[in-house]
Amino acid sequence: MSTKQGFAIGELPKGARNAITDVEGVHVGHVTLADGHIQTGVTAIRIGNENPFHVRARAAVQVFNGFGKSAGLMQIEELGELETPILLTNTLSVGAVTEGVVEYMCAKTQEIGREAGTVNACVFECNDGFINDIRGFHVRPHHVWEALANAGPEFKQGAVGAGRGMSAFGLKGGIGSASRIVKVGKRDYTLGVMVLSNMGRLPDFIMAGKEMGDKLQPLVEEREHGPEKGSIIMIVGTDLPLSERQLKRVARRTSVGLARTGSFLGHGSGDIALAFTTSDPVRTQSRARTMTVEQIDERRIDRVFRATAEATEEAILNSMLYAETVSGRNNHTRYALSELLSSLEGK
């Protein structure tokens, strides 16, 4: 399997787009704010065409290191359901994005806060304050609506949407994605990963099994010292029949792909994974008193774990390889991995 630059990652076949949107019904959209010291945005993941408050994807959350401010995880942990689209943004914009997604869901669902209960917005974040003027609160609720309206099967990766101001291993990070095909019996299933990468130290960076930090460091003007800081959000989507408990096990395997890139999930890093399935959703308007949940035989789940690890590793690398060099607040700059690799090849 190869990334944008042709590095081999794993052994399982990839989907047609090599993205989370290879999972049928999963769409991704961005709003990117790029103007001088403003380098930030919003990314939305929409699951299916039905109202997510009525047709809820089964889901599970895994918090590896909890240095983060994401919203809505507690109820997902308790109930194993998503009832809104998934939104990603910068840390200090979680409130504005939560407001936006709640407004969006209330407009679609008149019974929220009336006949039904309230709604649990799912919003993830990373701190883009090195490049972005994060204290300016430039993301507003209407950007959520725009990102959802932009959502489709084709989407850009790199320094776009929520990833615009993010850093990874001291270089430019952002949005990355990859997918794998998993055969169970005679049927092919799809598993895709999308990441918001904002973690790691350049000396630790590993690319497709090769230590790259020492080679790349001389090409970067700013040398950073101290502990690993930042965060990564890893979203796994699949059409495999998995219970909430099994989705939790799958979410944990994103840490394998993350570690393969050189991150050790340091003290100051918020490392969080969410896994969901489009198979067998929870239909809240059903009058049934009981429900049957289809799940894969766990003696067959190892290939799912492998697909998760491979797609996560490749998604992280793609988040860097698709990104361009970005300068922002106080002329802080993060250099594009693809440009640095081209410089190495030219020597």
Catalytic residue ranges:
231, 269, 271
Task: For residue 2, give the DSSP letter.
Answer: B
3-state secondary structure 55-104: EEEEEEEEEEEECCCCECHHHHHHHCECCCCEEEEEHHHHHHHHHHHHHH
Residues 6+ apart with CB under 8 A from 245: 60
Strands 86-90 and 174-184 come out as: unpaired
Residues 6+ apart with CB under 8 A from 74: none
How many residues can be counted in the chain?
347
| Strand (E) or helix (H) holding 191 | strand 187-198
Q: What are phi and psi of 176, to 5 degrees?
A: -140, 155
